[in-house]
């Protein structure tokens, strides 16, 4: 940002209140406007500035509509309206007004200098882009403002901090602050960017420098932020004990009303194993300990977009397995989980096989009905994950193929289609379905264009190397030839695209060393890639163990053995295994009405029984 806040960029309005009586100013201005004063335009400006300083953005659009006869003047009220739309989250109104003020943003950013009004507009646009997660444009604006800041109109330190804030969510951009100032705020943003890029050791070194500077200046609030980030980096490095010690200490030092408390509690809970199968795990109690009501009531602007998403997703998943009600909101996760909880009676108790069958049937009907939206896509991913959980790969592939075919029929390769392509190609590889892979690649290549390569570079790079793995050299060369024009600095793509004999280059094993020269194996393992390991286990003979020989007993002969006669060869066999062995027949119990043999009949005939002494016949 600038040396002053965005409100002070409107200093030409000459509206200042040294006694912090903004409410009195706004009320007085509203009375003057209702009375029909002569200088209504100036009074309206003063009223809006006072409302902005009070953070009452919900009342400002009504004033714009009520006094539209002079509020529609873009030159006088453009910046005010733009800032109001940005703070009130009016995305459509902001975009519409921005295109009226700046028809071509890229052309404006290429200028060698900016006027004061242009810089103010770009500051608002950069903050809006960061808020709406358009981080690349936000980064480009801050880089342009830093490049044209020769007159020191803005604070170079603040520009560098905001530039690193945008870098902290872009993992594919090299981390560089552009300014060498020993500041812990700048170092904190740089460490966050390193953490995202998985440079954890470098991030920890930068954070230790930042903590030293913050403690030297006695800035407790920023020191707590730095220590929280140190605990996060240590946890990712596997140093859970040290991380837990820092978090517990912060929990006693940070005020209970601070926005850091939910993050500290969440990070502490992440070190515990929470499972619905554990009888000792009480998920409703976990929700109470995290103070969910307070988190949901807090303003999202107090957190970064990544932090807010993580907090909300954790709450949704804990509510799901606690069998609590989940409201469907604007994000895809809440919509999908809300529908999922209504389809399943009790997610915590219902077996996964039953859940997988029910979701499979529902998704087949939904896809056939052409109701494709964000909620359906989120539910599709959950359903596919459930099929894989119960080891039903075929059902997961069927759902992915049906949804992907519907998307391709209605539109081109959008973001959802690209995600499903990643998943399908991975499942084809797991199931050894080379024919399905070839068919899917055929349809993906049909949607390729030079414009598409510029829009989603990483996806088409992935498709290009997948084609190489299946010896589809002509299709791969077509894609790499377009990719080299998008990012000429990509060395791996440049080697592939500029090779004269493309087919021979990848048939020849001597070219492999050049292709993998820049591959960092340790970094790939840190990011979760598993190395190739043979399944055959080598048997190592232990030197300490002595193999015991089996004892073979000799056949014993009887004492009165006649050497002239050969013994019975079956004498050493068990009785039941000998040929002359006859098993005794057991007399079965005869029930009333059952069949019996003659011996049993004779035994029951009383006339044939012998008479005993003293007994009557």
| Alpha-carbon gap, residue 119 to 123, rounded angstroms | 6
Q: Which tens digit of pLDDT belongs to each residue from 100-114?
A: 888 888 888 888 888
| Alpha-carbon gap, residue 408 to 423, rounded angstroms | 16
pLDDT attached to residue 537: 46
554, pLDDT greater than 70: no
* Within a domain: 320: no
Domains held by the chain: number: 2
Domain that holds residue 91: 1-95
Q: Are 187 and 209 in contact (CB under 8 A)?
A: yes
3, pLDDT greater than 70: no
Lowest-pLDDT range, 6-10, 396-400, 462-466, 549-553? 6-10
538, pLDDT greater than 50: no
Radius of gyration of the CA atoms of the chain, in A:
39
- Residue entry with tokens 């009676």: 345
279, pLDDT greater than 70: no
* Within a domain: 454: yes
The two three-digit tokens of residue 30, written as one number? 């509203």
* Within a domain: 50: yes
Q: Are 405 and 421 in contact (CB under 8 A)?
A: no
398, pLDDT greater than 90: yes
Output 307 or 444, whichever has higher pLDDT: 444
* Within a domain: 452: yes
* Alpha-helical regions (H) of 283-433: 283-290, 292-297, 305-321, 332-343, 352-368, 374-389, 393-410, 415-430
Mean pLDDT of the region 331-354 = 85
* Within a domain: 296: no
- Return the percent helix, strand and coil in the chain, to nearest 5: 65, 0, 35
* Distant-in-sequence contacts of 183-188, Cβ < 8 A, 24+ apart: 183/157, 183/213, 184/209, 184/210, 184/211, 184/213, 184/214, 184/217, 184/219, 184/222, 184/226, 185/157, 185/161, 185/222, 186/157, 186/160, 186/161, 187/213, 188/222, 188/225, 188/226, 188/229
Relative orientation angle of helices 184-196 and 156-167, to the nearest 10 degrees:
20
161, pLDDT greater than 90: no
Mean pLDDT of the region 397-419 = 86
403, pLDDT greater than 50: yes
Residue after which a domain boundary falls, among 487, 515, 543:
515
* Within a domain: 80: yes
Closest by Cα among 313, 264, 308 to 290: 264
Lowest-pLDDT range, 45-49, 401-405, 543-547? 543-547
pLDDT attached to residue 425: 93
Lowest-pLDDT range, 79-93, 285-299, 360-374, 426-440? 285-299
Residue after which a domain boundary falls, among 69, 95, 121:
95
Residue 33 host element (H or E) = helix 22-35
Q: Give 548's pLDDT tier (boundaries 50, 70, 90).
A: low
* Within a domain: 345: no
- Evaluate if pTM is beyond 0.85: no
pLDDT attached to residue 263: 85
Q: Which tens digit of pLDDT belongs to each residue from 593-602?
A: 666 666 666 6
Output 116 or 164, whichever has higher pLDDT: 116
Mean pLDDT of the region 232-248 = 90
171, pLDDT greater than 80: no
Residue after which a domain boundary falls, among 42, 60, 95:
95
pLDDT attached to residue 265: 86
- pLDDT, averaged across the chain: 77
* Within a domain: 103: no
Q: Which tens digit of pLDDT belongs to each residue from 125-143?
A: 888 888 887 888 888 888 8
- Name the percent of the chain lying above pLDDT 70: 75
428, pLDDT greater than 90: yes
Q: Which tens digit of pLDDT belongs to each residue from 346-389?
A: 887 888 899 999 999 999 999 888 778 888 898 999 999 999 99
């Amino acid at each position: 940002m600038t040396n002053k806040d965005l409100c002070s960029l409107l200093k030409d309005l000459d509206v200042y209140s040294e006694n912090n009586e903004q409410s009195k100013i706004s009320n007085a201005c509203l009375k003057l406007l209702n009375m029909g004063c002569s200088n209504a335009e100036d009074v309206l400006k003063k009223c809006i500035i006072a409302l902005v300083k009070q953070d009452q953005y919900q009342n400002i659009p009504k004033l714009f509509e009520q006094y539209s006869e002079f509020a529609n003047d873009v030159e006088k009220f453009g910046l005010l309206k733009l800032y109001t739309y940005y703070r009130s989250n009016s995305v459509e109104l902001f975009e519409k007004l921005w295109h009226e003020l700046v028809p071509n943003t890229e052309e404006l950013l290429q200028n060698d200098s900016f006027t004061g009004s242009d810089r103010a507009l770009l500051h608002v646009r950069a903050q809006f882009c960061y808020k709406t997660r358009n981080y690349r444009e936000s980064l480009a604006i801050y880089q342009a403002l830093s490049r044209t800041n020769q007159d020191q109109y803005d604070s170079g330190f603040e520009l560098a901090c905001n530039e690193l804030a945008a870098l902290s969510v872009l993992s594919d951009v090299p981390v560089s602050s552009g300014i060498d100032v020993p500041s812990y705020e700048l170092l904190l943003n740089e460490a966050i960017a390193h953490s995202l890029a998985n440079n954890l050791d470098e991030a920890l070194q930068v954070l230790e420098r930042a903590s030293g500077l913050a403690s030297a200046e006695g800035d407790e609030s920023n020191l707590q932020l730095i220590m929280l980030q140190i605990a996060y980096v240590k946890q990712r490095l596997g140093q859970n004990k040290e991380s837990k010690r820092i978090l517990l200490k912060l929990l006693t030092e940070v005020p209970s009303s601070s926005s850091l408390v939910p993050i500290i509690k969440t990070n502490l809970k992440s070190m515990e194993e929470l499972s619905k199968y554990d009888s000792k795990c009480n998920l409703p109690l976990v929700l109470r300990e995290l103070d969910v009501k307070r988190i949901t009531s807090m303003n999202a602007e107090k957190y970064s977009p990544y932090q807010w998403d993580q907090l909300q997703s954790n709450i949704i998943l804990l509510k799901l397995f606690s069998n609590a009600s989940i409201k469907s909101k604007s994000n895809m996760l809440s919509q999908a989980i809300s529908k999922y909880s209504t389809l399943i009676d009790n997610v915590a108790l219902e077996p996964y096989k039953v859940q997988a069958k029910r979701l499979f049937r529902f998704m087949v009907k939904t896809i056939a009905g052409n109701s494709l939206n964000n909620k359906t896509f989120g539910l599709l991913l959950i359903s596919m994950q459930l099929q894989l959980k119960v080891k039903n790969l075929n059902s997961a592939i069927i759902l992915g193929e049906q949804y992907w075919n519907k998307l391709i029929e209605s539109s081109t390769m959008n973001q959802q289609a690209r995600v499903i392509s990643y998943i399908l190609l991975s499942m084809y590889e797991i199931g050894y379905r080379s024919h399905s892979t070839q068919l899917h690649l055929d349809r993906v290549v049909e949607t390729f264009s030079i414009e598409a390569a510029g829009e989603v570079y990483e996806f088409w790079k992935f498709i290009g190397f997948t084609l190489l793995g299946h010896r589809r050299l002509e299709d791969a060369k077509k894609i790499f030839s377009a990719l080299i024009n998008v990012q000429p600095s990509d060395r791996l793509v440049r080697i592939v695209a500029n090779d004269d004999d493309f087919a021979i280059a990848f048939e020849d094993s001597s070219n492999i060393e050049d292709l993998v020269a820049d591959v960092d194996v340790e970094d790939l393992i840190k990011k979760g890639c598993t190395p190739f390991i043979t399944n055959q286990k080598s048997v190592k003979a232990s030197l300490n163990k002595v193999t015991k020989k089996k004892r073979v007993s000799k056949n014993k002969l009887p004492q009165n053995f006649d050497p002239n006669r050969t013994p019975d060869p079956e004498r050493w066999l068990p009785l039941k295994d000998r040929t002359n062995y006859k098993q005794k027949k057991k007399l079965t119990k005869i029930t009333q009405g059952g069949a019996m043999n003659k011996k049993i009949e004779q035994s029951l005939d009383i006339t044939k029984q012998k008479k005993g002494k003293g007994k009557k016949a």
